Amino acid sequence: MKIDLHKLAKMNEMAKEGANRVAENLSAMLGMDVQMKVTKIDFVTLSDIPEEIGDSEIIGAYLMFYGSPSGHLMIMFPVTSAKKIANLLLAGIGENGDGGQFSELDMSAIAEIGNIITSSFIDGWANVLKTEIDISTPQVIHDIGSAVVDPVIVELAKEHDHAFVFNSSIIAQDKDITCQIYVFPDMNKLVEVLEKV
């Protein structure tokens, strides 16, 4: 596979455009300043990713996207950040789980945030690539970080041992909320669509 420098610049543009839209839409939704702290594109050995994520407990939202390109997207909140996000969104309605526990309502609030982040990010891409991309409904999970990403890595590893990953981290400074976003576009489709731009 060959990717020229011009295409890498285009990928950078995708990452920035995606990240900006996520920050904008989250800021509006949560009513606070949300920033994308890091946005980078890595070419990684897939089996290294679980080690990088580690074994702490996280709340993860997983979505697939379909179109040009298609791929997988995983959002991971540390437990305390997920709790704060759920509290902000639910502000007084319904039952919140206590402490480290998450109620069904908490989880659906996280799913909603997952939706906003994914659709914003993918909108940014579609805009740069002048293409249409659809997203699946989110699946939310509370488990060990490296185990959460494992099935996604396995799915990708059926075809390749390496992948491009768009890795972003979000931070809402006043509330001390952070999250990591991993986007794995299907490599063949990504190259194909970049050829056309």
**Per-residue binder mask for another protein (CB under 8 A), 46-85, x = binder:** xxx-xx---x-x----x-x---------------------
Q: How far is the CB of 64 from another protein (least distance, A)?
A: 8
12-20, 45-53, 86-94, 184-192 -> range binding another protein (CB under 8 A): 45-53
Q: Rounded to whole angstroms, how far apart are CA atoms 37 and 197? A: 28
Enter the tokens of residue 139.
Answer: 């699946």
Burial code of 3-29, b = ≥16 C-beta within 10 A, e = fewer?
A: beeeeeebbebbbebbbebbbebbeeb
Backbone angles phi, psi at 158, to 5 degrees: -60, -30
Q: If you search the block for the tokens 């709790």, which residue do you land on? A: 83
Examine residue 146 and tell whether it contacts another protein (CB under 8 A): yes
> Which of 8, 38, 157, 197 contacts another protein by CB under 8 A?
157
Examine residue 95 and tell whether it contacts another protein (CB under 8 A): no
Count Cα atoms within 13 angstroms, Cβ side, for 6.
Answer: 4
Q: How far is the CB of 105 from another protein (least distance, A)?
A: 19
Examine residue 188 and tell whether it contacts another protein (CB under 8 A): no
The answer to whether 90 and 96 are in contact (CB under 8 A) is yes
Residues that bind another protein (CB under 8 A): 46-48, 50-51, 55, 57, 62, 64, 139, 141-144, 146-151, 153-155, 157-158, 161
